Amino acid sequence: MSYANSRIPSSAQQGVHENLARLVERHLREPFRKPYADYNRAAFEASLAGWDGRAPLILDAGCGVGHSTIQIARAFPDHWVIGVDQSADRLERRKPYPDALLPRNMVFVRADLVDYWRLLHDAGLRLARHYILYPNPWPKIGHLARRWHAHPVFPWLAKLGGVLECRSNWQVYIEEFALALGMAAGRPVAWERFEAEVPLTPFERKYRDSGQALFRVGCDLGGGEAAGQASHSTSGVQQ
């Protein structure tokens, strides 16, 4: 497939999955006790080794090659920005700047987010901002439970607090994410179509240059556990 010819996920599913609300309700009610893998514990420690313990935290979850992490770290120089991805290959790909020009307030770690999110929470840490940019859409109807909002780890995303933003080129994903986040936050969460004038990630650039519509959902979850107080925001990286 050529660069600016990327496709919108094709799916037999045209709207919010009929089982989503039931699944999210179950995940919000039932504990998720998957044991942590040692490499994720080590990655968690590594991600905080350069943190001063005071700077507000930003997580770029599923950061891919990390271009968004770099832009976010530039936009929030007084925050500690953590880019997490499970793919060492993507994380190691050459950055658009030489090392000397990379922001110092960020770190990349290879970890499985299913553990990383819970490790953050267990350590009593909360996020100022949380980005989930162009997650794998898993568009097949039978793959609902692989989408982040339908995964048993989803309640931890809300518990981590902060301004959470998810972007996708699949409208259904964002509608579903908004519904699930609303259930976790205890209030409706809005989503919108937007124009990516300055793309944050390579996927965003590719979709935009292919003429695709882009969608995002954003919500200020405040301090996390008391997420029922949340208010809506889709502020992107603008301060």
Residues that bind ligand SAM (CB under 6 A): 62-64, 68, 84-87, 90, 112-114, 133-136, 201-204
In one-letter notation, the amino acid at residue 135 is P
Residue among 85 and 176 whose Cβ is closer to ligand SAM: 85
Q: How far is the CB of 150 from ligand SAM (least distance, A)?
A: 14
Residue placing its CB nearer to ligand SAM in the complex, 62 or 236: 62
Phi, psi (degrees; rounded to nearest 5) at 116 = -60, -45
In the complex, the smallest distance separating the C-beta of residue 17 from ligand SAM, rounded to whole angstroms, is 19
The CB-nearest residue to ligand SAM is: 64
Q: Which of 100, 63, 82 is nearest to 162 (CA)?
A: 82
Identity of the residue, 166 or 230, whose beta carbon is nearer to ligand SAM in the bound complex: 166
Q: Are 141 and 117 in contact (CB under 8 A)?
A: no
With residue 238 as reference, give the H or E element that holds it: none
Longest dimension (CA), the chain: 50
Q: Nearer Cβ to ligand SAM, position 92 or 192?
A: 92
Strand-pair partners of 129: 58, 163
